[in-house]
Amino acid sequence: MKKLISAIIGLLLVCGLLALGAQHLQTSAGSTGKKVLNLYTWGDYIDPSLLTKFQKQTGYHVNVETFDSNEAMFTKIKQGGTSYDLTVPSDYMIEKMKAAKLLLPLDKKRLTGMQNYDPRFMNLAFDKHNRYSVPYFWGTLGIVYNDKYVKPGSIKHWNDLWTKKYRNNIMLIDSARDVMGMALASMNQSMNTTDPATLLAARNKLNRLAPNVKAVVADEIKMYMIQNEAAVAVDWSGEASEMLAGNSHLHYVVPSEGSNLWFDNLVIPKTAKHFKAIYAFLNFMSEPKNAAQNAEYIGYATPNLKAKALLPKAVRNDRQFYPDNNTIRHLQIYQDLSPAKVGLYNDRYLEFKMHH
Amino acid sequence: MQQKQRLTRSTAYFIPYTLWIVLFVIAPVLLLIYQSFFNIDGQFTFANYQTYFASSTYLMMTVNSVWYAFLITLATLLISYPTAYLLNETKHPQLWLLLIIMPTWINLLLKAYAFIGIFSQAGIANQFLSFIGIGPKQLLFTNFSFIFVAAYIQIPFMVLPIYNSISELKPSYVNASRDLGATNWQTFSRVIFPLTLPGVKAGIQAVFIPSLSLFMLTRLIGGNKVITLGTAIEEHFLTTMNWGMGSTIGVVLIIAMVIIMWLTSGRQPRKGLTK
C-alpha cells in the first residue's frame, strides 16, 4: 500500500512539474511583453541591421525565430502555444494556411506603401486582392551551370539536361515538387497536374535522367557547386545567387518554356497579438530604401518596384534573377494540392530516387 | 522494520527509471503504433500496412535498408574484432580505448561534413590518388563511401563490447588450449571466439539497429543514391505530412529491430549467426 501511495505521489509530482515546464515554455516561445514583435521566418532571411534600425525608429524590439520548412512552420502555428505576430510562408502554404483558417486578413487602411509593389506580383491566385499577404521576396527554379565544363549558352531548356554529355554530372535539389515539376515542365505539362498518368510519365522521364544524376542533395548543393564538384545543378534562384557569389564560373538559367515561380510573403498568423508593431513593421519593410537594403543583403529578387530601382544597375538588369517578361509569362506558381495528391507526387519521386 | 524501510526506499529509487521508460520509451512506441492505423484524413484504417506490403518500392527499400545495415555491420565487425584483440595485448589499453572512443565526442554532422571535404573532387583522398598516379576518382555519392563513413562512425560501438569480453577472457583457457596441442587457429576458433561471442553480439546489436534507420548520411555522403527506410520516414513526416504512413514504416523498423535483438540474444551460442 505504502509503495502504491509513494508511486502515486511521485507521479503527481512529475505531472505537476511537467505542467509548470509546459507553461514556462509557452510563455517563452515568443515574448508577450508590450514593445515587441515576434517574427517567425526562414533562417538568415532578413538583414539584421534593419532590425536595429526598426527598433531605433519605432521602439519595437523584434524577436526572430526561424523555421526550415513551410510544413514545420505550419505544424507549429497550428498546434498553438506560440505568439508569433508575422511569418513568411511560400505561395502554396499561404493557400493552405488560409484554408486551415490560420491567417488574419490585413487591415488595408493601416498599410502604407502597397503601391510600391510590382502589380505583376500582386493579386495572384494564392491570395486574391492580397487580402492576407504582403510580398517579401520572389524567385524561380532553374539551372546552375559551371562554364568550366559547360559551354555558356548551351543549356537553355530543361531537355538539355537529358543529353549524354552530362553523364553523372548533374545535382538535383531534394524536393519532390521541384524535381517532378522540372520533368513536367520539360514535357510542357502543368506543374500542378494531379493526373496520375501524367505523373507516371514524368517519373519515367526522370528515370531516363538518372544516369546523368550525380546526387540528390539539399543545402549542401551550394557548397558542392562552389567547389566545382558537378557541372550542372537544379536549384532555386535564391540558392543560385549565393552560389554565383562564391564562384565566378557559375551561371543561372531559367528555362523559357516554363518553370516554377515562387513567392515568400509576409502574413499575420492567428496567434498574433501586437498589431501596432505588426503594421509598423509591414510599412517599414515596404519602404523602398529598406526593401532594397534587404534585397542586397539576402540576394533574392525583390517584388518592390521602387526598391528595385534603387539597386545597383548590374543587379536590377541581371536577367538571371530578374527574367524578362516573356519568361515570367511562362512561369507557374505551385498550387496547394490536397494531401493525397501531394502523396502522389512524393510516391513517384521516391520511386525515381530508388531507381537512380 | 528496517528491512521494510529499505524496501520502500529501493522502490523510490525505481520511480525515476520507471517514469523515464514509460514516458520516453513505452508511450512513444504506443503512440507510433496508434498513429500507424490512421490514414491522411484521420480515419482508422489498416490501409497503411496494406500499402506497405503491396508496394514494391517499400519492400525494395526494406531490403535495401537491411542489406546496407548488414554490410555496415560486417565492415565494422571485420575492423573491430582484430582491433579489440590487439588492444588487449597492448601495454596501455585504456589509453588506446580512449583514442578510439574520442571521435564519438564530435557531432555526427560535423564528421559527415569532414568526410565531404576528404572525398570531394579536390579533396585529400583524390589528391593522394593523383599523387600515386591513379588519378582522381569519383568517391562521394558511391556505395563505398557511404559504407565507409557509416562504418567509421559505428566502430567505437563495436570495439567497446568486444574489448570488454576479450579482456574478461581468462588467459588460462588459452594456455590450456595450447598445452593440449591446439594450433593458433584452433585456439581462436574453438576457444577465444566462442567465449567472446556475447561481446560480438552486443556489438552487432549496437551497430545494426541504428544502421537500419540511417538517413542523414544517405543524403550527405550517399547523395540519395542509397535509399533506406529512414529517407521515407523523413519524407512522410516532413513533406507529405502523412504521419500514418510514416508511423507504419516506423513500426516495421521496430519489428525488424526486435527480430535482430531476438536473433542475437539467444542464451546458448548458436552457430552461423555471426558470419
Q: How many CB pairs under 8 A join A and B?
A: 90
For chain A, give the mean pLDDT: 91
Nearest to A217 among B57, B219, B231 (CB): B219
Nearest CB partner across the interface for B240, out of A6, A223, A339: A339
pLDDT at site A306: 96
pLDDT of B249 higher than 90: yes
CA nearest neighbour of A353 among B225, B240, B68, B69? B225
Indicate whether B67 pLDDT > 50: yes
- Closest-CA residue of B relative to A348 is B57
What's chain B's Rg over C-alpha atoms?
Answer: 23
Check whether A253 has a pLDDT greater than 60.
yes
ipTM for the complex shown: 0.83
Give CA–CA dist B177/B186, Å, rounded.
8
Determine the average pLDDT of the residues in B240-269: 84
How far apart are alpha carbons A222 and A226 in whole angstroms? Answer: 6
d(CA A111, CA A287): 11
| A162-220: pLDDT as tens digits | 999 999 999 999 999 999 999 999 999 999 999 999 999 999 999 999 999 999 998 88
Phi (first) and psi of residue B133, to 5 degrees: 95, 5
β-pairing, A86-87 vs A36-42, is parallel
The beta-carbon neighbor of B12 closest among A6, A11, A347 is A6
Q: Pick A350's closest partner by Cβ from B15, B57, B220.
A: B57
State percent of chain B over pLDDT 70. Answer: 94
Give residue A27's pLDDT.
Answer: 53
Residue B234 is predicted with a pLDDT of 86
DSSP classification of residue B132: T
Total count of residues recorded for chain B: 275
Asked if residue B271 has pLDDT above 50, the reply is no
Burial letters for B175-199: b for 16+ Cβ neighbours within 10 Å, e otherwise?
A: eebeeeebeeeebbeebbeebbbbb
Closest Cα in chain A, distance from residue B162 (Å): 36
Residue-level pLDDT at A244: 95
What the block records as the C-alpha cell of A81 is 502555444
List, for residues B121-176, the tens digit of each pLDDT value.
Answer: 888 999 999 999 888 888 999 999 999 999 999 999 999 999 999 999 998 999 99
Does residue A231 surpass a pLDDT of 80?
yes
Each residue's pLDDT tens digit, A124-137: 999 999 999 999 99
Report chain A residues whose CB lies below 8 A from the CB of B12: 6, 10
Pairwise CA distance, residues A22 & A20, whole Å: 5
Chain A closest CA to B262's CA: distance in Å?
30
**3 state SS of A187:** coil
Question: Residue by residue, what is the 3-state secondary structure of B118-151?
Answer: HHCCCCHHHHHHHHCCCCCCCCCCCHHHHHHHHH
Rounded Cα–Cα distance for residues B166 and A94 (Å) = 61
- Cα–Cα dist B189/B176, whole Å: 14
pLDDT at position B274 is: 44
The residue written with cell numbers 507504419 in the block is B248
Say whether B191 sits in a helix, a strand or coil.
Answer: helix
Check whether B27 has a pLDDT greater than 80: yes
Average pLDDT estimate for B51-77: 93
Contacts of residue A69 in chain B, CB cutoff 8 Å? 238-239
pLDDT at A204: 97
Pairwise CA distance, residues B172 & B182, whole Å: 14
The residue ranges of every structural domain in chain B are 56-264
In CATH terms, A139-261+322-355 corresponds, of 3.40.640.10, 3.40.190.10, 3.30.70.1400, 3.40.190.80, to 3.40.190.10
Q: What is the DSSP letter of A333?
A: P
Q: Do B140 and A3 touch (CB under 8 A)?
A: no
CATH fold of A31-137+263-316 reads: D-Maltodextrin-Binding Protein; domain 2 (3.40.190)
Residue with cell 551497430: B207
Minimum-distance CB partner of B15 among A7, A228, A342: A7
Which residues in A lie closer than 8 A to residue B227 (C-beta atoms)?
350, 353-354
Cβ-contact A334, A260 below 8 angstroms? yes
User: Taking the C-alpha atoms of A60, A65, A69 and A72 in order, what is their torsion angle to the nearest 10 degrees?
Assistant: -110
Q: Is the pLDDT of residue A34 over 90?
A: no
Report the CATH architecture of B56-264: Orthogonal Bundle (1.10)
Mean pLDDT value across chain B: 88
> What pLDDT does residue B41 have?
82
Task: Report whether pLDDT(A344) > 70.
Answer: yes
pLDDT in tens, A35-81: 899 999 998 899 999 999 999 999 999 999 999 889 889 989 998 88
Say yes or no for a CB contact (<8 Å) between A343 and B235: no
pLDDT of residue B225: 86
pLDDT at A294 over 80: yes
- Residue A294 CA, chain-centre distance (Å), reads 16
Give the residue from chain B lying closest to A344, CA to CA. Answer: B240
A318, with CB counted inside 10 A (0-12, 13-18, 19+), is middle
Same fold across A31-137+263-316 and A139-261+322-355? yes
What residues are paired with A269 via a beta bridge?
A: A103
Nearest chain A residue to B59, by CA = A354
Copy the grid coordinates of residue A190: 502543368
Which ranges in A29-113 belong to alpha helices (H)? Answer: 48-58, 70-79, 91-99
- What is the CA B123 to chain-centroid distance, rounded? 28
Q: Determine whether the interchain pair A71/B239 forms a contact, defined as Cβ–Cβ distance below 8 Å.
A: yes
Of B223, B239, B241, the CB nearest to A214: B223
Burial of B164 (0-12, 13-18, 19+ CB in 10 A): middle
pTM of the model: 0.84
Nearest CA in chain B to A68: B238
Cβ of B8 and A3 within 8 Å? yes
pLDDT of amino acid B270: 47
- Chain A residues with CB under 8 Å of B140 CB are 215, 229
Given a cut of 80, whether residue B9 has pLDDT beyond it is no
Could you tell me the CA-to-CA distances from A164 to A160, A169, A211, A253, B55 in Å, in that order? Answer: 9, 10, 9, 20, 32
What is the nearest CA distance from B122 to chain A, expressed in angstroms? 8
Instruction: From residue B38, give the alpha-carbon distance in Å to each of A266, B26, B240.
Output: 34, 19, 14
| B57/A227 CB distance under 8 A | no
Average pLDDT over every residue of B259-272: 68
Q: Is A351 exposed, middle or buried (0-12, 13-18, 19+ CB in 10 A)?
A: buried
What local confidence, expressed as pLDDT, does residue B260 receive?
A: 84
Q: What percent of chain A has pLDDT over 90?
A: 84
Residue of A76, A225, A350 to mutate for B, most B C-beta atoms under 10 A: A350
Residues of A with CB under 8 A from a CB of B: 2-3, 6-7, 10-11, 14, 69, 71-72, 75, 168, 171, 174-176, 214-218, 220, 223-224, 227-229, 339-340, 342-343, 346-347, 350-351, 353-354, 356
Distance between B251 CA and the closest CA of chain A, angstroms: 19
